[in-house]
Structure 1
C-alpha cells in the first residue's frame, strides 16, 4: 500500500495516478446474478462506480459525483462464485473533474484462471463542503502509457463536450 499522505506532502502540487489507484474485490453471489448465473450488468456498474469514485476521491481528497460514463464494454460474463477484481486509475484531470479508467477481471477460484471482463471510463467532479465543484490537484504523468491514456482521455472529453453542445 502506498503511503499517500507522505508522498503527497512531498509534492503537494499534484499526484501521480499510482498514488490514487484503487483495487477492489467482490465475490459474485447468487443475489448478484441473472437466471443464467451471470453477474448482473447493473451490479457490475455499481461496483465500477464505487471503485472509480474511490480513486477520484483519493486523488482530490474530496467527495466526488459521477458526471459521465463514456464507455462500458462487456467482454465476458463473470459467473456466480467467481471473484471480480476492479482496478481504478486516473487517466485525466481538469480543473474540477477527473476521468477514471476502471478495469474488471473475473477469477475462477477453482481453476485460478483470470479473464478481462469489462472496462469503463467514468468522469467525476470534486465537490466542496457546499456541494459546488472545486479544483483538484493536477495529474503527474510518470509513464509513456499514462501520457498516452491522458491524450486519449482528452479526445474522449472533446467528444463528450461536442455531444453536450448538440444536446
Structure 2
C-alpha cells in the first residue's frame, strides 16, 4: 500500500466561542478547566480530520495560562498538525481572547496535544504523514521530535528504580521543603 500524505492546511481548524458567566470560576475569570475542555475538543477534531479515524488524547505538553480570560470575551482556538508518527500526531494549539468592545486580543495559551488514531477495534491505526511546505512547519516538526526525545530522557532519569537522590538533593537546598528521611 502506498503511503499517504496530507497538507497541514487540510486538517487545520479554528473555533470561536463567547465566554459566558457559567464558564467562570470563583474569581470571575474563565475557568481553566473549561478552556482545557475546549482545547481537547479541537485537538480531537483536528487529529480525527487528519487521520480519518477516531482519536484519543495520549498526552498534553505544557499548559501555561498566560493571560486571564474575562466573561464576555470571544475565545478563539486554532489547531494544526505539527508532527506525524506512525499512529500518533502532535496537534499544536493556540488560544486567544478578544475583548468585543475594544478589539484587544490576548495570547492566552499555547499547548501541544499528542493524539493517537484508533480503528474500529480500538487498535492504534496508521495515519497519513504531513507535507511540510514552510520553514515554520519544519521547525514545528523538528521541535516535536526534540520534545519527545527530551520527554523520554526525563521520564527514565526520574524512574524510582534508577533515581539517585544524592545527584539531586542540592536542588532542594533553597526550596520550601523539609527533609526527614527515615
* TM-score over 0.5 (shorter chain): yes
Where does structure 1 differ by over 6 angstroms across 4 or more consecutive aligned residues?
none
Q: TM-score, normalised by structure 1?
A: 0.89
Please give the secondary structure, in 2, of the residue aligned with 1:102: strand
Give the Å deviation of 1:157: 1.2
Please give the secondary structure, in 2, of the residue aligned with 1:80: coil
Mapped pair 1:38 → 2:29: yes
Alignment gaps of 5+ in structure 1: 1-11
* Structure 2 counterparts to residues 113-124 of structure 1, below 5 A: 113-124=104-115
Alignment gaps of 5+ in structure 2: 160-182
Q: Partners in 2 of 1:118 and 1:38 — Cα distance?
A: 15
Q: Partners in 1 of 2:6 and 2:92 — Cα distance?
A: 16
* Structure 2 counterparts to residues 18-167 of structure 1, below 5 A: 18-165=9-156, 167=159
Give the Å deviation of 1:165: 4.1
Please give the secondary structure, in 1, of the residue aligned with 2:141: helix
Give the Å deviation of 1:45: 0.5
Give the Å deviation of 1:24: 0.7
Give the Å deviation of 1:122: 0.6
* Structure 2 counterparts to residues 4-15 of structure 1, below 5 A: 13-15=4-6
Larger radius of gyration: 2
Aligned residues, how many? Answer: 156
